[in-house]
């Protein structure tokens, strides 16, 4: 393959991986040669780069390469200008002092605070993220953000990084996923460069680690993470962590790490509610207006989508993107009919109905009481509170009416259900145990 062909391939890669990823990961690598045994050699600025590109873009590179050079069956990444590097002694300290780049994972330019729609389910997480993004005194360390898939954890972390770049350009901000932390650590171990690794991580002013649940069960990575964490906290450097669940729900995590993670501010991104979903759709439509200025969208479509697609924001956004692309392709306005046609599969998939029985069973299990006591007439508190929780969840998660719910709870009146639902709504705010119970149950039911 010639350098020109590599140039053309880079252009194609740019459109496949997106501009941001391209600039960060593909542009800095260079095609070197194809060896006799079908190995395509690329030069990379650091070994970590090679590992990252190979893990994330290896298949894509290979696929594109095989169109131009069918003999290629494998990729190899070598440090730039060190062709025979493996055979060479390690560089003298003066040379190795040349600063290694600590690659922050690429930030998505769209993930800013401006584009983050705030509603009840995420207002606390948003406020905490905003506070950290000011780059002022470290008041809570770490900030631990958690929540289910696609609820905006990564969006908030990138937004913090974007803001810090503007507010505090003097700070060395590092954002990476826990998986990347592990690659970087393993790489350092393999190359016997642990001192460099430690030094680099300890020179960071703000460390953000996304999806920390990834290191559960990975003992040495946890150990190193713990030391990095402690060293930074001791220096009063801000740490921001995200995970798909609360620290005490992450299995196979060492206790000392768990308690460290809990020692700052732990905030939950709750599943979206209807109003938040509608807000997100409305804000997305505004951005689409620039791209598709003449496209008409009928009244009621966004409300319909916000009602019907309650899984996660990523699915919601994907549905809207598809809808706009489809409508502009066929040159038609977005009507209800077109929406149902175009999104039939998404709508079917999110159609999974949670039944009243399922809720009753899960709640009884959760509170260790018998199903018959949950539904039955006894009014002792041990049964009455779980019963109200179950009624509340039936109201939230099913489309059943209050009289219908009442009937299924031993023939109770709809006003009893209404009272139960109200009581739990109040308690959720005051009583964190109830709030946690509901969250756990909701997740289990929606899983
Ligand atoms: N409140 C919000 N306002 C606007 N966009 C949002 C909001 N919440 C989530 N999104 C969008 O939803 C998508 C998924 O969000 P994100 O990647 O941050 O989720 P996540 O919680 O990190 O999920 P995962 O656990 O899968 O990593 C992104 O495109 C993000 O911009």
Percent of the chain with pLDDT over 90: 50
Instruction: Report the run of H or E that residue 93 belongs to, with start and end.
Output: helix 93-96
As a whole number of Å, the end-to-end CA separation of the chain is 48
- ipTM, two decimals, is 0.98
Pocket of ligand 1 (CB under 6 A): 111, 115-117, 122, 147, 149-155, 244, 280, 313-314, 317
Query: 334: which DSSP letter?
Result: B
Q: Please, are residues 269 and 147 in contact by the beta-carbon 8 Å criterion?
A: yes
What are the φ and ψ backbone dihedral angles of 392, each rounded to 5 degrees? -60, -45
99 conformational bin, left if phi > 0, alpha if psi -120 to 50, beta if neither: beta
Q: For 265-284, what is the mean pLDDT?
A: 92
CB 285 within 8 A of CB 302: yes
Instruction: Pick left, alpha or beta for residue 357 (phi over 0 → left; psi -120 to 50 → alpha; otherwise beta).
Output: alpha
Query: Is residue 95 pLDDT above 70, yes or no?
Result: no
pLDDT greater at residue 205 or residue 29 = 205
Residue of 123, 244, 313 best suited for mutating to test ligand 1, as the one with most atoms within 8 Å of CB: 313
Indicate the burial class of 440 (C-beta count within 10 angstroms; 0-12, 13-18, 19 or more). Answer: middle
Q: Is the pLDDT of residue 79 over 70?
A: yes
**Topology of the domain comprising 356-446:** Chromosomal Replication Initiator Protein Dnaa; Chain: A; (1.10.1750)
40-58 b/e with 16+ CB inside 10 Å = b?
bbbbbebbbbbbbbbeebb
Chain-centre distance for alpha carbon 112:
14
Residue 246 Cα to ligand 1 midpoint, Å, equals 18
* Alpha carbons 413 and 129: distance in angstroms, whole number: 44
pLDDT bracket for residue 447 (50, 70, 90):
low
d(CA 130, CA 444): 30
- Which of ligand 1's atoms lies nearest the C-alpha of 118? 1
Q: How many CB atoms lie within 10 A of CB 85?
A: 13
What are the CB-based long-range contacts (under 8 Å, 24+) for 351-354?
Answer: 351/308, 353/398, 353/399, 354/397, 354/398, 354/445, 354/446
Q: Tell me 108's DSSP state.
A: P
Among 35-49, 70-84, 244-258, which is the least confidently predicted range?
A: 70-84
DSSP letter (8 states) at residue 151:
S
Tell me how far CA of residue 248 lies from CA of 122, 213, 258, in angstroms.
20, 11, 7
Task: Compute the average pLDDT of residues 64-73.
Answer: 79
pLDDT in tens, 209-263: 999 999 998 988 999 999 999 999 999 999 999 999 999 888 888 899 999 999 9
- Distance, in Å, from the CA atom of 416 to the CA atom of 405, rounded to the nearest integer, reads 10
Annotated binding site for ATP: 150, 152-154
Q: Where are the alpha helices (DSSP H) in 175-237?
A: 178-190, 194-202, 219-234
Which band of pLDDT confidence, cut at 50, 70 and 90, is reported for residue 91? very low
| Whole-number pLDDT of residue 211 | 94
What CATH class is the domain 286-349? mainly alpha
Specify the pLDDT at position 84: 42
Q: What is the mean pLDDT of the segment spanning 83-98? A: 38
Sign of the four-CA dihedral 324, 325, 328, 331: negative
Q: What is the mean pLDDT of the chain?
A: 86
CA of 273 to the centre of ligand 1 (A): 14
Tens of pLDDT along 378-390?
989 999 999 999 9
pLDDT digits (tens, 9 = 90+) for 412-440: 999 999 999 999 999 988 899 999 999 88
Q: What is the mean pLDDT of residues 327-354?
A: 86
Give pLDDT tens digits for 277-320. Answer: 999 999 999 988 888 888 899 999 999 899 888 878 999 999 99
Q: What is the mean pLDDT of residues 143-149?
A: 93
CATH topology of domain 3-83: GMP Synthetase; Chain A, domain 3 (3.30.300)
81 confidence band (pLDDT: 50, 70, 90): low
6 CA from centroid of ligand 1 (Å): 34
Pick the CATH number of 120-269 from 3.40.50.300, 3.90.1150.10, 1.10.1370.30, 3.90.228.20: 3.40.50.300
Q: Where are the domains of the chain?
A: 3-83, 120-269, 286-349, 356-446
Per the model's pLDDT, the better-predicted residue between 399 and 184 turns out to be 184
* Per-residue pLDDT at 100: 47
Q: Who's near 312: CB < 8 A, 6+ residues apart?
A: 148, 149, 150, 151, 272
Asked if residues 423 and 390 have their Cβ atoms less than 8 Å apart, the reply is no
């Amino acid at each position: 393959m010639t350098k020109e062909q590599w140039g053309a391939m880079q252009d194609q890669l740019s459109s496949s991986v997106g501009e941001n990823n391209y600039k960060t990961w593909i542009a800095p690598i260079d095609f070197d040669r194809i060896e006799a045994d079908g190995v395509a050699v690329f030069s990379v600025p650091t070994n970590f780069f090679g590992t990252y590109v190979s893990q994330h873009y290896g298949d894509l590179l290979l696929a594109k390469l095989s169109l131009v050079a069918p003999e290629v069956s494998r990729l190899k990444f070598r440090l730039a200008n060190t062709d025979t590097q493996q055979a060479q002694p390690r560089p003298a300290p003066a040379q190795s002092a040349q600063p290694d780049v600590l690659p922050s994972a690429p930030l998505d330019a769209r993930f800013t605070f401006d584009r983050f729609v705030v509603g009840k389910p995420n207002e606390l997480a948003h406020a905490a993220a905003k506070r950290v993004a000011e780059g002022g005194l470290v008041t809570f360390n770490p900030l631990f953000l958690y929540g289910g898939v696609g609820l905006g954890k990564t969006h908030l972390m990138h937004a913090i990084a974007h803001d810090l770049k503007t507010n505090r350009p003097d700070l060395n901000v590092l954002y990476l996923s826990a998986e990347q932390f592990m690659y970087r650590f393993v790489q350092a171990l393999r190359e016997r460069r642990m001192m460099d690794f430690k030094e680099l991580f300890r020179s960071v002013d703000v460390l953000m680690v996304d999806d920390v649940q990834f290191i559960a069960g990975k003992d040495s990575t946890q150990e190193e993470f713990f030391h990095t964490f402690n060293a930074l906290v001791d220096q009063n450097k801000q740490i921001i962590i995200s995970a798909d669940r609360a620290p005490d729900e992450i299995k196979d995590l060492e206790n000392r790490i768990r308690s460290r993670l809990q020692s700052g501010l732990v905030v939950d991104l709750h599943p979206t509610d209807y109003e938040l979903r509608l807000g997100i759709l409305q804000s997305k439509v505004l951005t689409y207006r620039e791209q598709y200025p003449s496209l008409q969208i009928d009244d009621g479509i966004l409300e319909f989508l916000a009602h019907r697609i309650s899984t996660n924001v990523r699915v919601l956004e994907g549905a809207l993107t598809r809808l706009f692309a489809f409508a502009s392709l066929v040159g038609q306005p977005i009507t209800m009919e077109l929406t149902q046609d175009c999104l039939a599969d998404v709508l079917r998939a999110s159609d999974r109905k949670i039944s009243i029985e399922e809720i009753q069973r899960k709640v009884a299990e959760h509170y260790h009481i018998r199903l018959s006591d949950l539904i039955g007439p006894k009014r002792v508190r041990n049964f009455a509170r779980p019963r109200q929780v179950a009624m509340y969840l039936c109201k939230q998660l099913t489309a059943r009416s209050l009289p219908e719910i009442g009937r299924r709870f031993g023939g109770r009146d709809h006003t009893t259900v209404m009272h139960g639902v109200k009581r739990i709504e109040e308690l959720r705010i005051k009583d964190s145990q109830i709030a946690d119970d509901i969250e756990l149950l909701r997740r289990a039911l929606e899983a």
